[in-house]
Amino acid sequence: MSSKAVRLLVIFSVYLLVDGNNPKHQWTLLPNVLVLDVTGQQATFPLPCLDSKAEMTRKGIVVQNIVWMVNGADTPKRGNTFLVSLEESLGGGNYTCYSEERVLLNHTLLLLRQEGSKRADLNCTAQNYDGGFHCYWKYPKQSRWTVALVKAERVRPSVEDTRCVTDASGKSWTSFSSEGKIHCDLDTGGNGITCRETCPQPEEIQLLHVLVYIYTENYMLEEYSVDFYLTDIVKPDKVKIKKVNATMAEWRYPGSWSLPHSYFPLVSQVVVRKNCKKCGNCIDLNNGQIVTNQAPGMFQFEIRKTNILCVRIRDPLYASQWSDWSSRSKAAIGPGEERRAGATFKPMC
């Protein structure tokens, strides 16, 4: 092969490393957080310290004196551009540049998103219609990850006007849009968020869209998302069953349920059994008995020849999710009541 052909081959190989085939795309997730959509192929990406010569002149910085750290460790790299090596899932990290006097000039958290990766689903529930909801995701317990951004908004077709603000702790996010404000806090365990819409819609027109960005310990970005109406995810809290007399049991709407009860009704499903350790295994073929309100916000049910009473509730108008089961033995005494002589308390679920 001639020297000219070798030279052309070298030039073409270098071009392939930096021409944009990898990464396919770059975008800003947050200030100083840059995301590269990568293919997994070997390539390099030029990461700048300062944006322009004018900025370097204004700060009195000599290009050759700019030094770099990656993930807190010094590197031999000097100059305004750090050529990041990309291959498979490698290349992400915290890139920091300084002047020769160790004055901080800039920093970038570089995250990689694998080409073709799909968004994973979030699981969300709401106790009522008051605008609050909780979402969680499943992640391997042995893995380490960080939540980078949470974005929750009411979506309208072809409109993208949401502004998201992260607090200094990196554990709270507020999304502002023309549809209102939604604030989310990271759960203590780190694998869920609790959100509240400050102006919930009385009649939902736009879907709620929740998007969570998480990056792994090797700086790979993953996305979890879900779209829903609150009516789709409402699940009332469990009821507390009390004993009225020898044969009558009573339970009321949970304290967390929306008011007024006349506008937000509930119905109960009741199953009675002599022996049943788990209520969910005790449903009749006809799915138990449906009980409506005896009085506003209150239910009563007569227990005759049975030992165990199983109860759950839901909104009948939207056919929302059933609450978790509550159960009491016929002899049980509800919270706040005194024990009668010889009575025993046997919670089952």
pTM for the full predicted model: 0.77
Residues sharing a CB contact under 8 Å with residue 105, sequence separation 6 or more, in sequence order: 49, 50, 59, 61, 66, 97, 98, 99
Question: For residues 96 and 69, is the Cβ–Cβ distance under 8 A?
Answer: yes
Among 228, 230, 227, 226, residue whose Cα is nearest residue 120: 226
Give, for all 349 residues of the chain, the pLDDT tens digit.
Answer: 444 443 433 333 444 444 447 788 999 999 999 999 998 889 999 999 988 777 777 777 888 889 999 999 999 999 999 999 998 889 999 999 998 888 899 999 999 998 777 777 789 999 999 999 999 988 766 678 899 999 998 886 545 566 777 777 788 999 887 777 899 999 988 889 999 998 777 678 889 999 999 999 999 999 999 999 998 999 999 999 988 787 788 999 999 999 998 889 999 998 887 766 667 666 654 467 888 887 778 999 887 766 678 899 999 988 789 999 998 876 654 444 433 333 332 333 3
Kindly tell me the burial class for residue 35, based on how many C-beta atoms sit within 10 Å of its own C-beta (0-12, 13-18, 19 or more): buried
Residues sharing a CB contact under 8 Å with residue 328, sequence separation 6 or more, in sequence order: 241, 243, 249, 308, 309, 334, 346, 347, 348
For the chain, list the domains and their CATH numbers.
3-114 (2.60.40.10), 120-233 (2.60.40.10), 242-329 (2.60.40.10)
Q: Measure CA 20 to chain center.
A: 32
**Placement of tokens 């396919």 in the chain:** 24
- Which H or E run includes 225? strand 221-228
Residues sharing a CB contact under 8 Å with residue 148, sequence separation 6 or more, in sequence order: 29, 30, 33, 111, 213, 214, 215, 221
Work out whether the CA dihedral 191, 197, 202, 204 comes out positive or negative: negative
